[in-house]
Structure 1
């Protein structure tokens, strides 16, 4: 309850006003359930009460004030008034006035401007006008026209009631209802038939409203509920649908036009009866002028303002996010998003134009998400290329669609390995054909690259090195990281995930991936981006999923531009933004991904078909990345944002170029590498080994057969058998260790052939109709020239070590043996089933 300090009251009036104010505040205090809000209310009441005392009793001494209260208390009518008041309080508790305005849901942008509006549950446009949208001009116009004593009465104007009663009796019919704004709010909230009994109920409800709500809130109810014809209710709805403006930017002429319509919404219809409305508007403007409600010049300008309006469609921007937030917040009437309007609209246009150019390739859709790394808020949300396209699933939200991530999880894998000290960027690893218990991955380009570095493997998105690293750190470790990053499908299927996880063998969403990459821009701290300005703080708690050191190492690798996933289009190379990015293409070329970030933004792009149809031309590098670059150049063009600084616990060291390990005495070629002190491994390089050979270097010796003379020690490459086997199959020259001393007996007991395929203990299901065969493959030392394959102890075939042998097995358990020309042997057992 608010009173103007300039108003003067008699002593009884003063006492009653203060008594009513305190009781009203007390009831409001009791009704509040939030214990945090109660102290705020007490403080507010105290402040307001003191202010009232100073203003109302400015001319009264303390003694006079005490006498005034004593006089009222001793008055014989006081008990009756108190009894009536207690009766009212009791009725208020028994028959509470439940207010459910049932507003339309409004979605606003970061500046509070309307993006999207939905009809309410009764299919009406009833948009809530917030208190800060009720301008002094709007308030003056409404109060002057509807209820000039609105700020002074307590819901009912007794003089207006008496005047209306006398007039109705004299005329013999109801000519005046004496309704205040508060009473009109009651009638709008709970329409009833016009009878004298219902009028008494209306009066009671009006007093209830005054007890529970402030004058500003009651005026707000009125503005939100007044009818404007058709299915439009509330001044804001009319303002948006007719003037395409929010109420706080309406002119005096527009305010006046909207003020007069609710009295006759059927005859005064904007867009239909504009000339008549203009005439009535100017008549009321003249009344304002005569009563000096507004400045004369302002009124003159308003009268000259034309009225050319029609009904427009309600805004329907950012449809995917709007629908999502409406579903997630069913009780909210106004949802304030963090979307930046011009970025949202610009990117929507870019995506739509880009996809239209891909239609000839049978690529029909895309989704984009933009996160501001500084505020952790989503500034653009494009769920599909065209929401209004039903043929290509335009209403599907691609940001939440579960798809295969391709290679986009590899940065998290390598970052985890950095943190465990297993690898550094220059660590060598072999990219050669490898069988992981029946799982034989291959690279996107169907090629193998031999010995490479970790940074090369990540920058070129090679699959076999990634699976090797995952096997070393174990799948559950990576799964736990993804759980911390809130990957929902991974959480549900964590027990079923294997080594294929890092190659796209799980379900993810663009939302999850973009949030994950934003963690790399935040020194490894995962903080899920929010969509609204007043989001729950609990959802913004930071969660460290990787260290800032490994995050920096990943960023440095992903920022390289000498990469195969750089778009082939030359136009993008000279204006490419400074970003770190990773591409991905799912199996069957159904999904193309490109996620990039710098200090300011993280942007995720997905391109494909919601139908799941694969396209041969679809790839993250050539299809998704150009769109990513285009968006970065739009939202962060020529950005002055500084690049990421190296953490204090990142250091440099020299390593052997052959292995990436700490140099040994024989490491002549050394390079500089990043490492994490006290974390990264300090293993001495073993890329070469000393071998005793004859002086002519034709025979090698072990310690068992080493002669006392005629031998020298020489360095030879210490390659893994898998790399040697690949070199042999590709006829790549390398320095070989000479054949071992043929007279040595010990060698026959070691270095037996390693059967690579089939896998020991595995089951193989073969198709009878296709007459399938089983392949045999092994790895041996470079001194072996011939191997012998046996099936159930019967010779199958003699072959060179690198020759793949095929045979048609019988059903059941089979023993497979491989012997080399040194007499060494290896056995495995497999189960074969024909279907």
Structure 2
């Protein structure tokens, strides 16, 4: 009785001592299970798009738990470790049996390794000795202590060797069968389970006949053990083995390379790319660029964003990733380029939200000097008075700069920062009015994200490349209002515009989208970005070398490619077009000004506006003038005769528009000259000196003996102007006539007065060289 109790107590103490020892050793010698896996890029369905070697130049692809099918699990456990689910890392009976056989035979005939022990051996490869076997047993106990059975099986599946530089079931499955493990047949599973025991002699692709015999032996063993039903076994036995070593998948290369760099620690990167869409758009881009080769245009990029999920479904960084001659490996979606006119919709949307303009608001497209900056239109022409919607649809530059000046550059830059334009954020302090004409750097990805916000009622959410497994909707941050987004969409949906491709086929098959084109200075970049309710698609065409091409333009070069991709992606879309927001209404406005009509506004049209936001200015495109019956003289209230005068409406033209009409000899109704006997001094609407620019420095070359231009803009009704240099009369000339003078060095005061006594002064500095 006492002996039994003593023995029992001694056994319990010994057991606890062993447990304490194991835990102590576990703390002292922690288990390291961090194998270096290959990076896999998968599509939206989980199929591999692109695979990369790991840091050791091995194909070791990570098998996820859900990829280990019941068939695969049963086959591995039956073949390698029948008691895997029951033991604690080692099988004492198997170890005793193996040790006994080894002693009897005098050589190692059985290792008695469990799956856990094999995992340890794969993690810590060492020479097969009895001492190392003890270490292996200890590590197996550690493995069981820290990981579940499913995780241990997963490690085994990921580490088993298949010869050469292939490790893991998934690597073998992809490279030999072009399948993921979860869809392998029983015959293919059995094939892959027998190779790790003899990876040198059982080499798939070269030893298929031998592998087939070994496979069928194990299939019959499965049948005898009742692991699988007879029909399944019969089907597997009759299945041929045609496995060969295949190239690893190399699809969507630009995105794959990008994601591998961004997510270095994630072995399986699940993207939102739709495989068939990606492949087809890659081919569309490649075929399209091949047709442009004779024009010396060698590359293009395209991105497709799902507006409802904010996920990227296709990503084509160049026309041919494997063409080094034309920089095929450059990612055109991330390349920083000049945006041309593509930022204008955001500017006009901002102005709509500030109540500065509405679509029908009139604005002058005439030569204008903005403090030394004199922009021109793409076609080198000027269009006089136009509406805002015409200016945007026709991508006119002067109106855009005028609107930016009124909105203010800092306000617009803040909008661009909220839209995540990184180069603009970095260089914001250096940007001026030229920003709206492409004087900044953007990427195709950034532009496409911006236009997607118009499709999402003004809410910006950066498009994601990784698949979103959650159904939670992402709304994003408001950069413009739903109302202004709608107004922009209505303008960009117009088809009577110059940036429609000059090709009937494209017009005939044109999808219902809103789109905007852009061409950078020097014709180095052609852009076209379009959207509907479901998709936003961005296209860039050009040369990565930066070489300009005379034929390159967003309208005729980039837009046809945009239409091709849209017609493939969403032709005859079932999605409804955008609804009019509740806070957008319609009103009658004067066609001449876009303002609320007065009694004299005989031509009225319908315009959208935002109640409580849009300006409520009354029209003033005409004004009443007192004139004599022959309309040869006008009068003001100071000099108005008591009789012999009539009141008549005349165009109330701005000085810049008068100047435009005069210089281009466009007829307009002029206000008769003012009464020369009038003594009144006018204080409003003084001449605007358009050149030289106030506060500027001018460097003059003595060799060229140049002269400096004097130019001004005056109101309708002004007939003569007087130029003064340093307060001395220089010349009296008809209004809107250019004058030249040879300046002296130093600071010079220049004054311009009109025939009504209104005066403007500026100062310039002249330096002779």
TM range (shorter): over 0.9
Instruction: Kindly report which structure 2 residues correspond to 1:474-489, keeping only aligned pairs within 5 A, or say none.
Output: 474-489=408-423
Partner of 1:288: 222
* Equivalent of 2:369 in 435, 440, 450: 435
Q: Deviations over 1:247-274 (max 9, x none)?
A: 1111111111111111111111111111
Instruction: Please tell me whether the aligned partners of residues 529 and 540 of structure 1 are also in contact (alpha carbons under 8 angstroms).
Output: no
Where does structure 2 lack aligned partners over 5 or more consecutive residues? none
Partner of 1:300: 234
1:561 aligns with 2:516: no
CA RMSD of aligned residues (A): 2.2
Partner Cα distance (1:110, 1:583) in 2: 30
Normalised by the size of structure 1, how large is the TM-score? Answer: 0.89
Partner of 2:290: 356
* Equivalent of 2:591 in 635, 650, 657: 657
Q: CA 1:541 to 1:189, structure 2 compared with 1: closer, same or farther past 3 Å? A: farther
Partner of 2:621: 687
Instruction: Kindly report which structure 2 residues correspond to 1:641-652, keeping only aligned pairs within 5 A, or say none.
Output: 641-652=575-586
* Equivalent of 1:218 in 129, 152, 163: 152
* Equivalent of 2:275 in 341, 345, 352: 341
Q: CA 1:824 to 1:133, structure 2 compared with 1: closer, same or farther past 3 Å? A: closer
* Equivalent of 2:82 in 133, 139, 148: 148
Partner of 2:109: 175
1:508 aligns with 2:468: no
Instruction: Kindly report which structure 2 residues correspond to 1:51-450, keeping only aligned pairs within 5 A, or say none.
Output: 77-450=11-384
Partner Cα distance (1:608, 1:787) in 2: 49
Partner of 1:709: 643
Instruction: Please tell me whether the aligned partners of residues 309 and 473 of structure 2 are also in contact (alpha carbons under 8 angstroms).
Output: no
Q: CA 1:770 to 1:629, structure 2 compared with 1: closer, same or farther past 3 Å? A: farther
Partner Cα distance (2:183, 2:408) in 1: 61
Partner of 1:669: 603
Partner Cα distance (1:419, 1:823) in 2: 40
Partner Cα distance (1:535, 1:761) in 2: 60
Instruction: Please tell me whether the aligned partners of residues 692 and 701 of structure 1 are also in contact (alpha carbons under 8 angstroms).
Output: yes
Normalised by the size of structure 2, how large is the TM-score? Answer: 0.96
Partner Cα distance (2:536, 2:702) in 1: 52
Q: Deviations over 1:495-553 (max 9, x none)?
A: 11111111111111111110000000110000111110259999956110000001101
Q: CA 1:438 to 1:163, structure 2 compared with 1: closer, same or farther past 3 Å? A: same
Partner Cα distance (1:216, 1:663) in 2: 77
Instruction: Please tell me whether the aligned partners of residues 72 and 78 of structure 1 are also in contact (alpha carbons under 8 angstroms).
Output: no
Instruction: Please tell me whether the aligned partners of residues 38 and 51 of structure 2 are also in contact (alpha carbons under 8 angstroms).
Output: yes
How far is 1:813 from its partner?
A: 2.2
Q: Deviations over 1:408-431 (max 9, x none)?
A: 111110100110111111111111
Partner Cα distance (1:823, 1:656) in 2: 33
Instruction: Please tell me whether the aligned partners of residues 681 and 757 of structure 2 are also in contact (alpha carbons under 8 angstroms).
Output: no
Where does structure 1 lack aligned partners over 5 or more consecutive residues? 1-70
Partner Cα distance (1:90, 1:743) in 2: 113
Instruction: Please tell me whether the aligned partners of residues 430 and 452 of structure 1 are also in contact (alpha carbons under 8 angstroms).
Output: yes
Q: CA 1:228 to 1:607, structure 2 compared with 1: closer, same or farther past 3 Å? A: same
Instruction: Please tell me whether the aligned partners of residues 528 and 540 of structure 1 are also in contact (alpha carbons under 8 angstroms).
Output: no
1:577 aligns with 2:498: no
Partner Cα distance (1:264, 1:397) in 2: 43
Q: Deviations over 1:14-62 (max 9, x none)?
A: xxxxxxxxxxxxxxxxxxxxxxxxxxxxxxxxxxxxxxxxxxxxxxxxx
Q: Deviations over 1:626-669 (max 9, x none)?
A: 10011010010111110000011111111111111111122222
How far is 1:824 from its partner?
A: 6.0
Q: CA 1:786 to 1:342, structure 2 compared with 1: closer, same or farther past 3 Å? A: same
Which has the larger displacement, 210-219 or 547-556?
A: 210-219
Partner of 1:739: 673
How many positions carry a matched residue from both structures?
765
Q: Report SS of the residue matched to 1:746.
A: coil
Q: Report SS of the residue matched to 2:72.
A: helix
Q: Deviations over 1:541-577 (max 9, x none)?
A: 6110000001101100100011110000110111111
Q: CA 1:471 to 1:264, structure 2 compared with 1: closer, same or farther past 3 Å? A: same
Q: Report SS of the residue matched to 1:441.
A: coil
How far is 1:762 from its partner?
A: 1.0
Instruction: Please tell me whether the aligned partners of residues 584 and 593 of structure 1 are also in contact (alpha carbons under 8 angstroms).
Output: yes
How far is 1:92 from its partner?
A: 1.4
How far is 1:76 from its partner?
A: 5.4
Instruction: Please tell me whether the aligned partners of residues 489 and 507 of structure 1 are also in contact (alpha carbons under 8 angstroms).
Output: yes
